[in-house]
Chain A
Amino acid sequence: MSLAPSNSSNPVALALRDVTKRFHGAAGEVTALENITLDVHEGEFLAIVGPSGCGKSTLLSLLAGLEHTNEGTIELDHEAVHAPGRDRLVMFQQDALFPWLNVLENVLFGLRLKPGLSDAERVESARYYLNLVGLGNKEKSRPHELSGGMRQRVALARSLAPNPRVLLMDEPFSALDAITREQLYSDIQEIFTKRQKTIILVTHNIREAVCLGDRVALFSPHPGRVQRVFDIQLPRPRRMNDPALATLAAEVTAELSIHLSQPS
């Protein structure tokens, strides 16, 4: 297992040590994650990919502080994570925009909870991020008046606006059509390059992971473990139909099928 990070010159932002998470379900105890050890460096884009049941969404909930580990530690800047906090914001699978607020108010939601800002600064910041995702002219719209892709862009602006240390993305593209997704991949890469944000993306789409991640951590299921970490050294911006990207994605897929063909 390779743990060599590509941004190794940068300090470690998030450190996971032997993280284990178990659930008590109807079928007894299930180990969702077992001994996960990972370092995520400052300004790194880590993509976590794996089949369903590999615990990748659980891992994201742990990082967000919405769930607690049974064993092991998660540290952000050397401080233990055990509750939700605005230093780790989440962009969810479906858009979790609030239908009773307009676009601007949705983006302001997190900003209003951030102390030490004046109202004018909050509005200014919200507008900046709405412009960044290309929706500066939609601030008065209601979420239901926007397309699925636009809604996810608002969700992205909402997660970026309070300027979190780490952005957590929980399969944010899975409910979108292919064309919209493609557009968002390039938007995200542009924002990532511009803002140098630390991002962790969880997805079941291997190509997507290779397209976006500096590193791709392949998880295997039952129990969820890190099977292998791939360094993706393709130049940005990357395109989904780039043959080099397809070759790397095939490599990851091959590694995954090795595991899936083994009797467990």
Chain B
Amino acid sequence: MKLPRPVIPTLVALAFFGGWEWLVSSGRVNDVLVPAPSQILQWFLEALKSGELLSATWVTMRRLIIGFAIGVSLGVPLGALSAQVRWIRDTIGVLALGLQTLPSVCWVPLALLWFGIREEAVLFVVVMGTIWAVVIAVQEAVLNVPPLFLRAAQTMGSNGWHLWSHVIFPAALPGVISGMKQGWAFAWRSLMAAEIFVVIVTGFGLGSLLNAGRELLRMDQVMGVMAVVMLVGLLADLIFFAPIERWLRRSRGLAR
């Protein structure tokens, strides 16, 4: 008999969380160090009821979406420009490679100095986290457009902006989307780092909530926030990126 696909993952999860719960409730593991799943769940429900969790999630999502949107809308044209113009690739393209390896939390001291303890400082850090991954991905995607497409389009009279909008951009779209996905992941990391390291008076986000848990020695809160951060990341992929990628694969015959 063949089991339905969800059966095994469910059993594994039950065993994992059951074992964890048992280890903590039987006193074998100190619940100050590692809270039991039930304690984390309890914090989650309370924080949900008090509205604390939703407002923190909202603050964080707002920063994330605005920062990501700025990063993408600057990164896509910059990446395209970098692919098209040699000297820009030799300058900004190379700089982007370097800056991509720099964890964007390194920008926090400068951001605070330049913008003060304000929303702009957080956004700056998020943008710096997003933009370089997007620039590099878009540049690569554009440089990898098959020359045959360009030749074919040019003989049919396409050039300039038409060539960009009707050939280069659609051809590069899969690469641009995966660049955006990477940018999204980097934006998340940057924002969490910024929120944990910096007390920002303009809004209490998930990172701040996690940090508050640390200061109160409430590991149920710390782990609860970690779970929420993972959940939001998964949901973003499920709702936004996965459908786009599925559509691209299907319509271009890349589906497996």
Q: Which residues of A contact B (CB under 8 A)?
A: 64-66, 84-86, 88-90, 92, 94, 96, 98-100, 109-110, 113-114, 142-145, 158, 162
B167 touches A90 (CB 8 A): no
A85 to B159, CA, bound (A): 11
A92 touches B171 (CB 8 A): no
User: Closest residue to B167 on the A side, CB-wise?
Assistant: A98
A66 touches B157 (CB 8 A): no
B151 touches A92 (CB 8 A): yes
A142 to B253, CA, bound (A): 8
B149 touches A66 (CB 8 A): no
**Contacting residues, chain A, for B252 (C-beta < 8 A):** 99-100, 142, 144
User: Closest residue to A170 on the B side, CB-wise?
Assistant: B151
User: Closest residue to B251 on the A side, CB-wise?
Assistant: A142
User: Closest residue to A66 on the B side, CB-wise?
Assistant: B151
With both chains docked as a complex, state the minimum distance between the C-beta of A95 and any C-beta of chain B, in angstroms.
9
User: Closest residue to B159 on the A side, CB-wise?
Assistant: A84
A109 touches B171 (CB 8 A): no
User: Closest residue to A113 on the B side, CB-wise?
Assistant: B157
CB-CB contacts of B27-39 with A at 8 A, as 1s and 0s? 0000000000000
Of residues B146, B148, B156, which shows the largest number of chain A Cβ atoms within 10 Å of its Cβ? B156
Question: 30 A-B contacts, Cβ less than 8 Å apart?
Answer: A64-B151, A64-B155, A84-B154, A84-B155, A84-B159, A86-B155, A89-B155, A90-B151, A90-B155, A92-B148, A92-B152, A94-B148, A96-B148, A96-B149, A96-B152, A98-B149, A98-B167, A99-B251, A99-B253, A100-B173, A109-B153, A110-B156, A113-B156, A113-B162, A142-B252, A142-B253, A143-B253, A144-B252, A145-B253, A162-B156
A65 to B159, CA, bound (A): 13
**Contacting residues, chain A, for B158 (C-beta < 8 A):** 109, 113
A113 to B155, CA, bound (A): 11
A89 touches B253 (CB 8 A): no
A98 touches B171 (CB 8 A): yes
A86 touches B171 (CB 8 A): no
Q: Given the interface contacts A94-B148, A96-B148, A96-B149, does A85 sit within 8 Å of B157 by beta carbon?
A: yes
**Contacting residues, chain A, for B162 (C-beta < 8 A):** 113
User: Closest residue to B254 on the A side, CB-wise?
Assistant: A144
User: Closest residue to A161 on the B side, CB-wise?
Assistant: B156
**Contacting residues, chain B, for A86 (C-beta < 8 A):** 155-157
Q: Given the interface contacts A142-B251, A142-B252, A142-B253, does A100 sit within 8 Å of B155 by beta carbon?
A: no
Of residues B154, B162, B171, which shows the largest number of chain A Cβ atoms within 10 Å of its Cβ? B154
Interface check B19, CB cutoff 8 A: no
With both chains docked as a complex, state the minimum distance between the C-beta of A154 and any C-beta of chain B, in angstroms.
12
User: Closest residue to B148 on the A side, CB-wise?
Assistant: A96
Q: Given the interface contacts A94-B148, A96-B149, A98-B170, does A66 sit within 8 Å of B253 by beta carbon?
A: no
A158 to B152, CA, bound (A): 10
With both chains docked as a complex, state the minimum distance between the C-beta of A66 and any C-beta of chain B, in angstroms.
6
Choose among B149, B153, B157 the residue that contacts A114 (Cβ–Cβ < 8 A): B157
A86 to B253, CA, bound (A): 29
**Contacting residues, chain A, for B171 (C-beta < 8 A):** 98, 100
Q: Given the interface contacts A98-B149, A98-B167, A100-B170, does A89 sit within 8 Å of B251 by beta carbon?
A: no
Since A89-B155, A110-B157, A113-B157 are in contact, a sample of 18 more A-B pairs with Cβ atoms closer than 8 Å, ordered by chain A residue number, is A66-B155, A84-B154, A84-B159, A89-B156, A90-B152, A92-B148, A92-B151, A96-B146, A96-B152, A98-B171, A99-B252, A100-B170, A100-B173, A100-B252, A109-B153, A114-B157, A142-B251, A142-B252
A109 to B159, CA, bound (A): 13
With both chains docked as a complex, state the minimum distance between the C-beta of B166 and any C-beta of chain A, in angstroms.
8
Q: Given the interface contacts A92-B148, A98-B149, A98-B171, does A144 sit within 8 Å of B253 by beta carbon?
A: yes
With both chains docked as a complex, state the minimum distance between the C-beta of A138 and any C-beta of chain B, in angstroms.
14
